[in-house]
Chain A
Amino acid sequence: MTAEAFNEELYWSVIDILNGLLTGTIIGGYYAMISIGLAMTFGVMRLVNLAHGDFIIVGAYLAVVLLNFLPISPFFTLTIVIPIMFCLGYVLQRVLLNHVSVQAMERKGLSANYGLMAPILVTFGLGIFISHVLLGIFESDARQLKNSLAFSAIRLSEDLNISLLRFIFFGLGIVILILLHLYLTRTHAGRAIRAASDDAEVSPLMGINTAHVYGLALGISMAIAGAAGVMIGMIRTFQPFDGPQFLLIAFGTVIIGGLGSIVGSLVGGILLGITQVLAGTYFGPSAQLVGGYMLILFVLAFKPQGLFSK
């Protein structure tokens, strides 16, 4: 091998790795957005929300509806989608999920096991219900939120570039995670959410109404899911039954990063993203998902509590 050919090869392997790290990190930011809501509802209410992926798709379709009426950029739909999703989440928790929680089952004189199982079944049913309602309204055509940035890229060098849109979403994701962190640590309501997550039985002694706090938690979870949905809708096409694949990504991210940690969700998302992209680069596109699941299995086998759980 000539020196020139060797240099060429070295150059491309560096580019491959850099590309994997960069793209993986960028994707990880959006994986974190997809998963943080799931981690939060589990952390606070021990709720395994199987409808989480469907909530993400609802966010994307809400943007579709808004764009039908308002001649705005899909970015601005976030300002309407986020509050609507928050309200939906709050109401859903108070009128439905609070009535099947561990505490509710206890009030009915049933074992806590019912309270762990019932919400899983309810959210499973809810997910199916939501996707069928979406199918009824929007039919099964693939949709996308059209925007002018879809094909723009940031060029870092001749052979290295990243999607501008994904980069913006990465930044937006970080901003949302920081805001969530500040909310949870600096406000009375945020601390109440964490307190109820630590000890729901004693938190009423602080004057905390757990039913309300749980409503806030699902509201926030759905608001972030909705934001993630809008972002997904701008990057790729979506259909009413796409929810479960995002639920899987969210589960994966949460398993890697550990529950109840915002940093964990971000790092878990980034690790999953990088693994997928590198696996795809070295072993072909079909290895992408396998690579991701290998990482999840690896973490489950050796650190089942996740890399960042306390």
Chain B
Amino acid sequence: MSISEHKRGFFAEEGRGGKRPLLTVSELSAYYGELRALFDVEFQVMPGEVLAIIGANGAGKSTLLKSMVGMMNRGKTAHTTGSIDMRGRRLDQLTTEKIVDAGVTMVPEGRRLFPRLTVEENLLTGAYLPRCREASEDKLVEMLDMFPRFAERRTQIVSQMSGGEQQMVAVARALMSDPQVVLFDELSLGLAPAIVDDIYEKVQQINQAGVTCIVIEQDMKRALRVSNHVLVMLEGAIVLEGDPKDLNEDQVSSAYFGSEIGRASA
């Protein structure tokens, strides 16, 4: 990439739809040791949108989200190159806790709740940042309103809850830090379809409250339905991107599987 190209992304006033992007990812590559997992990924995230990332297993979706919250900065074990810019602030140079403080957080794959803490403690841990502490009790009440199922279970140890309930706790915990952007990694993994519907309803609700959402979703149809913008990844790169209304399913599945197989199946 030339410097001028880089700067265009960096200082872009206008992105998709004439709006100023909230996040600009430029030339992002990620490595596990010597193994390269992302190849010069570039995209923009507009404020208030739901961005869906789809792709087969191993396409680099999770690695991309991890890179965006600094979880790939692990010395010789894993690292990234390129830039992730949030309105002039370089997130790629921050540690995970600073990125969360800047307003970007993630609901990790497999929920990853703190198993020996209660529901309430898991949520309050989400408000650990000094800027969140004062309002943490109010925020807790807000979350119990939004997820009424927790209200009577707030003192329960989370490892005793069902998968769907745990996923809800994980979503609520992420919201406790009052984020501008939430990355959802494989929200529906291992959950019954009815529960997944519930969870996506919450995602819509969160998005309507002004939070920008980025979701990784295995179910292609669902991804196209819930999002304003779709990225299709294949082998560590973005191979197709666009408004779900403008993309037809054949286009997406051929990108998803790589063109040859996609054409064959289509």
| Chain A bound to chain B | yes
Identify B125's interface contact among A107, A191, A209, A310, CB under 8 A.
A191
Taking a contact as CB atoms under 8 Å apart, the answer to whether A204 and B96 are in contact is yes
CB distance from B152 to the nearest CB of A (A): 20
Q: How far is the CA of A237 from the CA of B117 in the complex (A)?
A: 42
Residue A194 is within 8 A (CB to CB) of chain B in the complex: yes
Identify A109's interface contact among B77, B101, B174, CB under 8 A.
B77
CB distance from A62 to the nearest CB of B (A): 32
Residue B75 is within 8 A (CB to CB) of chain A in the complex: yes
From A26-34, A133-141, A143-151, A195-203, give the one contacting chain B: A195-203
For window 195-246 of A, CB contacts with B under 8 Å fall at: 195, 198-199, 201-209
Taking a contact as CB atoms under 8 Å apart, the answer to whether A208 and B128 are in contact is yes
Given contacts A106-B77, A191-B125, contact A206 B173 (CB under 8 A): yes
User: What residue of chain A has the Cβ atom nearest to residue B78's Cβ?
Assistant: A106
Q: How far is the CA of A211 from the CA of B171 in the complex (A)?
A: 25
Taking a contact as CB atoms under 8 Å apart, the answer to whether A199 and B124 are in contact is no
Taking a contact as CB atoms under 8 Å apart, the answer to whether B112 and A199 are in contact is yes
For window 108-142 of B, CB contacts with A under 8 Å fall at: 108, 112, 114-117, 121, 124-129, 132-133, 136
CB distance from A34 to the nearest CB of B (A): 24
Given contacts A107-B76, A108-B75, A206-B173, contact A195 B125 (CB under 8 A): yes
Residue B100 is within 8 A (CB to CB) of chain A in the complex: yes
Q: Which residues of chain A have C-beta atoms less than 8 A from B114's C-beta?
A: 194-195, 198-199, 203
Taking a contact as CB atoms under 8 Å apart, the answer to whether B95 and A204 are in contact is yes
User: What residue of chain A has the Cβ atom nearest to residue B122's Cβ?
Assistant: A195
Q: Which residues of chain B have C-beta atoms less than 8 A from A310's C-beta?
A: 116
The contact string, 1 if C-beta is below 8 Å from chain A, for chain B 61-74, is 00000000111001
Q: How far is the CA of A106 from the CA of B70 in the complex (A)?
A: 15
Q: Which residues of chain A have C-beta atoms less than 8 A from B101's C-beta?
A: 207
CB distance from B118 to the nearest CB of A (A): 9
Q: Which residues of chain A have C-beta atoms less than 8 A from B71's C-beta?
A: 201, 204-205
Residue A185 is within 8 A (CB to CB) of chain B in the complex: yes
Q: Which residues of chain A have C-beta atoms less than 8 A from B96's C-beta?
A: 204-205
Q: How far is the CA of A199 from the CA of B158 in the complex (A)?
A: 14
CB distance from B218 to the nearest CB of A (A): 21
User: What residue of chain A has the Cβ atom nearest to residue B115's Cβ?
Assistant: A198
Q: How far is the CA of A192 from the CA of B129 in the complex (A)?
A: 10
20 contacts between A and B (CB under 8 A): A106-B74, A106-B77, A107-B77, A109-B76, A185-B121, A188-B127, A188-B133, A191-B125, A194-B121, A195-B128, A198-B115, A199-B115, A201-B71, A203-B125, A204-B71, A205-B106, A206-B97, A206-B125, A206-B177, A207-B100
Point out residues on A near B: beta carbons under 8 Å: 106-109, 185, 188, 191-192, 194-195, 198-199, 201-209, 260, 310
Query: Given A205-B108, A206-B173, 5 other A-B contacts at CB below 8 A?
Result: A188-B124, A191-B124, A202-B108, A204-B100, A207-B128
Point out residues on B near A: beta carbons under 8 Å: 33, 69-71, 74-77, 95-97, 100-101, 105-106, 108, 112, 114-117, 121, 124-129, 132-133, 136, 173-174, 177
